[in-house]
Amino acid sequence: MEIETIAIHAGNLIEPGSAAIQPLTLSTTFQRDAQGAYPSGYMYTRISNPNRVALENVLTLLEGGEDACAFSSGNAAGSAVFQALEPGSHVIAPVDMYHGLRNQLKVVYNGILEVEFVDMSDLEAVKNALKSNTKLIWIETPSNPLLLLSDITAICDLVKTKDIKVCCDNTFATPVFQNPLKLGADLVMHSTTKYLGGHSDALGGGLITRNKDEFWQRICAVQEHSGAVISPFDCYLTIRGIKTLPYRMKGHDANAKQLVAFLKSHQEVADVFYPGFGGMLSFTTASGESAAKKVANATKIFIQATSLGGVESLIEHRASIEGPDTKTPRNLLRVSVGLENINDLIEDLDAALKV
Ligand SMILES: *Cc1c(COP(=O)(O)O)cnc(C)c1O
């Protein structure tokens, strides 16, 4: 099946003769029969739930994996990978990386994992960082917020014969533009809060695996025992969002490309960062940080807010949300290009850039 069909049907696990859309199962617990067995196949919602099984099924098929685990947030999904590592493991992560996960590595895993941040777009830097206790390479491509690209295939080739897992945060690219498992990665991570959910109203995260190996079993154990699972209602909303993902991504991509062309020709804009696909871009203002902040304040259609991947366009001064240790340029604005009419978006930014 192709992605449009998977997106619509793989998250809808229905019985013949039943409702056409899988119902929401809010029950936290499931009945036992006279023998003490669980005839529904479910026992307790932290362990498993029909809506979560449906979400995990569609995630698995979208990324071409063998299995998936859904979590309460993208950060919880990332944390499950880090928790599954032996203490003392060396982890290589990108310098330009989603700041929430970077902070998690620095704060929560301080003293538990040995984390090293490298320029992941530089293959030599990754190669030079490898150590005897390296157990995980964390890739994020395109990266946040500079939209740098890393070569997933080349990085995976580097560690092919070693006992090192490669996990790729595929939140920005989505399975529409990139399938890291097909390029050699062991695991894919998503913040489903973003494009997969697509409507800025459901928090969630997912991991998809290429193999149901021992490391994956550890991740499944973390999901069950640590319990950072996604609620049935958020599963329902995320599945509903996924149905239109391939079509939404075409719209995000087309709008972003036109916005990039507009920004590149604008005299108030210094640099534009865009990987050539998808709906995320960032740009720097020619007149510095205060100009950037003014622009983010002056838009009428673009909402000044963090996050991304919804149908509505968002604009954000990135350095001020990332905290004092950020390397993000002070005059950088990150834009999540939504699905509004492109002429309205261009007009809105044009007016804001004149303020
Ligand atoms: C938002 C985001 C995350 C974290 O996801 P949450 O759902 O907010 O926990 C991780 N990686 C990327 C690239 C993100 O944009």
State residue 20's pLDDT score.
Answer: 97
Centre a 10 Å sphere on the Cβ of residue 39 and count the other Cβ atoms it contains.
Answer: 10
State residue 324's pLDDT score.
Answer: 84
The CA 80 to ligand 1 mean position distance, Å, reads: 14
- Name the catalytic one among 96, 135, 169, 234: 169
Q: Is 46 a catalytic residue?
A: yes
The CA 214 to ligand 1 mean position distance, Å, reads: 26
State residue 168's pLDDT score.
Answer: 98
Residues comprising the chain, all counted: 355
Listed as ranges, residues in the chain with pLDDT below 70 are: none
Q: Is 98 a catalytic residue?
A: yes
pTM: 0.97
Decide if 88 contacts 200 (C-beta within 8 A). no
User: Of the residues 98, 105, 336, which should be mutated to test ligand 1's pocket, given the most ligand atoms within 8 Å of the CB?
Assistant: 98
Which DSSP helix (H) or strand (E) runs through 114? strand 114-118
Strand partners, 209: 67, 187
Decide if 280 contacts 256 (C-beta within 8 A). yes
State residue 297's pLDDT score.
Answer: 96
Residue 216 one-letter amino acid: W
The CA 312 to ligand 1 mean position distance, Å, reads: 17
Q: Which residues of 205-239 are buried (b: 16+ CB within 10 A; e: fewer)?
A: bbbbbbeeeebbebbbebbeeeebbbbbebbbbbb
Q: Is 327 a catalytic residue?
A: no
Decide if 352 contacts 295 (C-beta within 8 A). yes
